[in-house]
A and B are shown apart, each in its own frame.
Chain A
Amino acid sequence: MAEAFNIVVFAAYLIGAVLPLAFYKNNRINIPIAYTFSLIASTAGIAASLVALVSMTVTKIELFSSPIFGVVSVSLDSLSAFFLLTVSVVSFAVSIYAPPYMTKTAGKRSAGGFGALYNLFLLSLVLVVSIDNAFYFLVFWELMTLTSYFLVVFHYKQRETARAGYQYLVMTHVGTAFILFSFLALSVHSGSFSFAGFKEAQASLPMGLKNVIFISALLGFSTKAGLVPLHVWLPRAHPAAPSHVSALMSSVMIKTGIYGLIRVLFDFLSPAPWWWGLLVLILAVVSAVLGVMYALMEHDIKRLLAYHSVENVGIIMIGVGFAVIFSSLGFKTAALLSLTAGLFHLINHAIFKGLLFLTAGSIQYATGTKNIEDLGGLIKRMPITAALFLVGSLAISAIPPFNGFASEWLLFQSILQANLIGDVSLRIISLLSVPALALTGGLAAACFVKAFGITFLSIPRSARATDAKEVPAPMLIGMSILGLLCLILGIGAAAFIKIPWRVAESFIGKTYEMPAFNTLLLRLPDKLGHASASLSMVAVLLVISAMLSILLIRLRGRRSVIKGPTWDCGIPEITPRMQYSATAFTKPLRTVFSAIYQPRRQIEVDHEASPYFSHALSYEASLYPVFERQLYRRFINTLVRVARRARVIQAGNINLYLAYIFATLVGLLVFVWR
């Protein structure tokens, strides 16, 4: 069953990657073709992964047999199926959304190559999460990186885009080098390239090598996932791409980093020592807090969302980190709960971040700008987009009854299990993630009050916002699917939780308890306490009490509603310039956290004769980019300095070079003789 669907997935993506090129010139043909095939493929992908997850069998399809690397097969075990589900759900909605957006973005340029690359990118994503051979994993990993690079630099003529793309390419390749190293080390040790071989050899791995492999894999995969301090490419590359690609990159592609890390941690290197988990946890907590803090100060809506990806990857990794700590200390049920929470948040983030990036795309489509300071009042011009953005905002701010809350609730519950840990200092350090996660939630809410309020509410601040119109139907449908899923996964969390729980069980081992007591009540396993939450009942209570309050008002007599201007302190008319701007909104938090932001401002006053009569004022505010300056800039400077020193040996004299060659030869001969 799943095999058949899987073959449809590969076939449709491959056709979608070739056919648009045949109609390269004509955007009216190549755009529908590209997205129709990706739609077919992602539908099949949803079916394949659901079949695999429900039946809990490993599906294997042999692709080809190669003499060096062994039989290459696509194997859909539960973790792969879970990631395939995530990829397919998001790409399904994105493929519906994309055609009108792409038609406008491409303009007179051909979208044929873009459509082909889009399908190839999705194919590589699917293969990365389902291939079971390290060599081909790296091949498809590279394919994923390269296709996404070309998708990012679609507007390559803009200087900023080209730079962002270049930085992305460099960072991600350094990451790939680390992954390559850890996989090579594993394959040298196990004598095989297949994941199954890695798994068999793990028992005989010496601890020192294990640590090295782990650190290198952590560096490599967390570059892709965007963990602090390796996140710097992310807020540049995501906004540069066309919005539907940003949605895919942010909600799906960075998750492949987490996929790799989970594979390495739980499949290749288990049992892991507890300090690995602690390291992951610390990185995760720092990412979560710093991600949301930088998001808060960002007024480019897509950059803002990109920083929130850093935050949410942090939240997911908190779950993974706790899972490692718990499982190495032998608390199986607690480890299961943490990994479940992480995986659940992963799919939730994919859905709401996908939704938010698509709505950001719609804003860009309708107004031509990403800067929220220029917008305002869009709720009356784009009501459906506004409602969907609101749903996404509530979900990402972890507000019940939406899906973001469901997974954060589980995560809080799994952090509570830190009380099981015997070592007091480790327990306290682990529990510090509570205030961190709570601060993240609070700041995310502040950030999305800003993002929604400044973009959609009150009076338009520019002509672009005034003239905005609702986006075409396919875009609305694509967004609505994800918006609906935000609600369904929230209210139906208790029913859905079985799926990530089973995925976690496949690594940590079975227990006979599951978090869900019944489909309405999300209840912890008995071993872990009696806390329960029922987002469906909360939703029912919310609706009932809202209806009662409406009824109360009706009974008291419905009076008229008078429309009037906003109170403006007696000034003749309220203008957009009097409203709060995004900068003003975040000013208090910028002041409170000035130690982290280190805000700078530059004010220049032009005056003609007397300094008391200024006639022009220029004001510029910026934050100090700590990581770029303190970490990367220093690294680059050192590198440049070393390179300059090294230049001495390259004097340009042929004789000297011959002498080098001679010296090397002599050296080698001595080495061989010895």
Chain B
Amino acid sequence: MKWGRFMAFLVMVAVVIGLTVGTAMPIAKKIPLGLDLRGGVDLLYQIQPSSGQHITESGKQALLQAVELRVNNLGVASPIIDLEGRDQIRVQLAGVKDQAAAAKTIGETAQLAMYSSAKMDPKTGAPIAPAGKLLATGADLKSNASYVQDPNTGKNEVAISFKDPKKWENITSTYLGKPIYIFLNDNLLTDPVINEKMFTGDSVIYGPQLTTPQECQQLASQINAGALPYPLHLQSETSVGPSLGQASLQATLYAGMIAIILIFLFMIVLYRMAGLIADIALVAYGYLTILIFNGLHVVLTLSGLAALVLGVGMAVDANIITYERIKDEMRQGRSLRSAVKIGNKNALRAIIDSNATTFIAGAVMYWFGQGDIRGFSVALMVSIIVSLLTAVLLSRMMLLSFTNSGVVKRPWWYGVGKGVLKNDEA
């Protein structure tokens, strides 16, 4: 019996159990849950066509697309967007921190306008309202606006490009040396003086309303989502409960706990000590997954949970593959120690290939999917990586140090029955 190896094994077990018991709950509580699991905010918009404008079927589809684009720009997982009645759009969002800003981004068109002059506040001399000639609007801009940082000053800006570089060239040549006034929803954004003629149509805008990256991103996404075909008016804003139902989720939570306990017992019955090691690796899997979800600010939905369950399945599978291989090696007459070593080695390729294939599926789903599908694929990719770290790497380290410590010598501890072995002892 080697006490050093056994101590190393005990330390690994203690670290996993200690960290999980000590810190898992507070971290888990920080993970935002999706609309289906916790509910969120329900926004109802009235489509209000301007006078003389008719709502057409294609116009409604364009409007829904624009709304969807704006919701996606908010970075919200799995929104629900419904067309309601003849002239209403209902949007349900989960995990939104600033509801008012979200409601605004979805419903308001960024009315970006550039004017040749402005009314000045008589007291301060600061420009307050547009005047003079309307030079350009948000509609003149391409849909590729983005948040940038000035490489020299570090100032937050929004990079824009004009659809027609000629137009911007004309403006900059006409008003060379003069200020122009850029308003966002009738508030002055900035009043830059044009210093040189611009030929490419590319420019940046900045101003007192664009100080944080978030503000810049919001303006950029509003410009990119374009003008809404019809103005929207926010009619109501209510909080909604989980779409899967409170009682139902409570029951599911308990059932999930029973399932985990049964899986743990099943592994121990099948593989004894090795099964227990697999169970500890599973605890580490759960803990690391929670940690990464929290770090990535993933909004967890039922699809995400499904992917995690699949991840648990794959993690358990990795251990089962390894233990069956170890049994195979023992049947061929290897000693306990070398069976554990060779078994681990032989199992690895199957585990890597099967996990890599599923990971590729996850990556493709992320690339081509949206909403719920993306939530699923992110959770799947995270759980595959974590399961390789825990169910393969950690589990292997624990198993090897336990085996090499020589605490137990009977293969029974690894789930190997009597009669399959040629020489019963290591």
Partners in one complex: no
Chain B residues near A (Cβ < 8 Å): none
Chain A residues near B (Cβ < 8 Å): none
